[in-house]
Structures are given as structure tokens and as C-alpha cells.
Structure 1
Amino acid sequence: MALQTKVEYNYDEEKWVFKPIGEIDIYTSNEFRDNVLKAYEKKNADLVIDGEHLEYIDSTGLGALIGLLKIMQDTPYKIYIENIKPNIRKLFDITKLDSLFIFRGESDEQ
């Protein structure tokens, strides 16, 4: 399945919002990362990954997210993840990556 990513800047929250539609996998993870980086380089800000229409993410997709974290590690900006399906959330839990990202709308949001 292909990937489309809607990108918008939320001026009220001062955050980039990315809405991936489809799958972030070995075939699409570089495209997703490049779209996010292009926006982030245009204006440094927090990133929100809205997973409402994200159907699947594999290890290369997770790797793309980790790569974004590494780029942002020495900045005050954070990556938020929201509206993800339970099977995708479980993947973050199993890989212990749930501690690296902020999940919005959940009790563990910081």
C-alpha cells in the first residue's frame, strides 16, 4: 500500500502536524522521514504524528521515527503521537519505544 502524508502547521499549538495515510514500511519510510524533515527544517517546532489513518508501521518506520528523535535530541522540541490503532500502539510497547515518544490523549501523556 502506498503512503500519503498530509502536512500542516498548527499555529494555535505551534506544532507541525503530519497525517500519514496508509503504511510506513520499508518502501515508504524514507519518503515519510523526508517529508517530516523538510517541514521541520522550514520551521523548527514540535511534531505531531496523527495516526488516525495509519494502517501499519514496520521496523523501518519505527527507525524513521527514531532518526527524527535523534535529529531533535539537542533541541527543546518533542514528537507527539496521537490517534493510533491499538495494534500499532502495542508495537511501541513491545519494543519499549513507548518511553521515547509522548502519546497524546492517553494517561501517560507528559
Structure 2
Amino acid sequence: MNITIDVKEMEQYTKVKIVGEIDAYTAPKLRETIFPYAEKKNTKIVIDLSEVSYMDSTGLGVFVGLFKSLNANEGTLQLTGLSERLRRLFDITGLADIMNINSEVEGGV
């Protein structure tokens, strides 16, 4: 149950690459790492989930909180590289209807 979170501040957005599992054990580390970026005005965060092998409801909760924080600060969130399993999780919960989800990883992001 490990997670690696790589954050790079680019000129126009903040790029986050997550590798591993997002669950009750790793979600606090994820929240602690990315929420400070969401508190800035007009921030765009692009999260690459192409190497996330598992996510439970705790992980979904992190993304809902991140999405709300970014919206409150006029920022945006884009999720990329979702596996079919992760995509289905976002579809079933209705989050795919409100979040910007792209199954492809754009421009090497």
C-alpha cells in the first residue's frame, strides 16, 4: 500500500503524477501534498492517474474535496490517464459528469 506523488509546477498548470494505490491508508498523504496548491487563486491542476492501480471511496473523497477547493478559488482540475476501472468508478458515482476527465494523458502530462 504505497503511493508516490510527484508534483511539478509548470508555467500554466501544476502537474501531479500519482503512482500506486489511493485508499484509506494513502489518502491523507495525497490530501496533504496537493491541497495547498488548490488554495491558490486560479490554479489549474492536472493529475495523471495512469499508474494508479486501485482507488477506494476515500480516494474519491480526496478528489471531491480538491475539486470543491479549486472551484472556490476559481481554479480547475483535470484528471487524465484513468484506467477503465477508475473511469467506471467516477462514472458510477456521477463525478465524471462534473469533473474534467480525459482518459488520455495529454502532451506528456
Q: Does 1:36 align with 2:50?
A: no
Secondary structure (helix, strand or coil) at the match of 2:24 reads coil
How far does the alpha carbon of each residue in 1:52-74 deviate from its partner, in whole angstroms, 9 at most, with x for none? 11111110000011111221222
How far does the alpha carbon of each residue in 1:19-41 deviate from its partner, in whole angstroms, 9 at most, with x for none? 11101100011110110023444
C-alpha displacement of 1:44: 5.3
Superposition CA RMSD, Å? 1.8
Moved more, 66-75 or 77-86: 66-75
Give the letter for the 1:93 counterpart: D
CA gap of 1:42–1:96, structure 2 versus 1, over 3 A, is closer
After TM superposition, the score normalised by the length of structure 1 is: 0.84
CA gap of 1:97–1:40, structure 2 versus 1, over 3 A, is closer
After TM superposition, the score normalised by the length of structure 2 is: 0.85
Q: Does 1:2 align with 2:2?
A: yes
Contiguous gaps of at least 5 residues in structure 1: none
Q: Does 1:50 align with 2:48?
A: yes
C-alpha displacement of 1:9: 1.4
Give the letter for the 1:8 counterpart: K
C-alpha displacement of 1:100: 2.0
Identity of aligned residues (%): 34
Aligned length: 104
Please give the residue correspondences for 1:25-104 in structure 2 after superposition, counting only pairs within 5 Å: 25-41=23-39, 45-104=43-102
- What is the CA–CA distance in structure 2 between the aligned matches of 1:9 and 1:64, rounded to whole Å? 20
Q: Runs of at least 4 residues of structure 1 off by over 6 A?
A: none
